């Protein structure tokens, strides 16, 4: 958890904060049909976390948004 916290803070320092409503509007609809294992690979999050994200119950940290967006445009194919 400490590593994740450091990565999140580092991302925030360099990129600023984003609006969770933007995730729900722009990315969530695109990932809801994708397999959990693809979401896990794209983000490094656990299966249960990805399940909550895909269900719209949790907004992931914004450092994951680009990977999720890229994944959604690839049709769910894993990101290299």
Per-residue pLDDT of the chain (80 residues; tens, 9 = 90+): 687 788 877 777 788 778 899 999 999 999 999 999 999 999 999 999 999 999 999 999 998 998 999 998 876 655 54
DSSP 8-state secondary structure symbol assigned to residue 49: H
- According to the model, what pLDDT value does residue 40 have? 95
Residue with tokens 């690839």: 74
- For residue 69 the two structure tokens come to 């967006």
Contacts of 69 (CB under 8 A, 6+ apart): 26, 27, 30
Rounded distance between C-alpha atoms, residue 66 and residue 27, angstroms: 9
- According to the model, what pLDDT value does residue 32 have? 94
- According to the model, what pLDDT value does residue 13 have? 77
- According to the model, what pLDDT value does residue 78 have? 55
pTM (2 d.p.): 0.81
- According to the model, what pLDDT value does residue 75 have? 67
């Amino acid at each position: 958890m400490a590593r994740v916290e450091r990565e999140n803070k580092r991302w925030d320092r360099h990129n600023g904060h984003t609006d969770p409503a933007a995730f729900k509007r722009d990315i969530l609809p695109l990932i809801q049909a994708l397999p959990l294992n693809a979401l896990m690979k794209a983000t490094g999050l656990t299966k249960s976390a990805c399940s909550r994200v895909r269900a719209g119950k949790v907004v992931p940290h914004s450092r994951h948004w680009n990977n999720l967006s890229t994944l959604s445009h690839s049709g769910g194919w894993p990101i290299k």
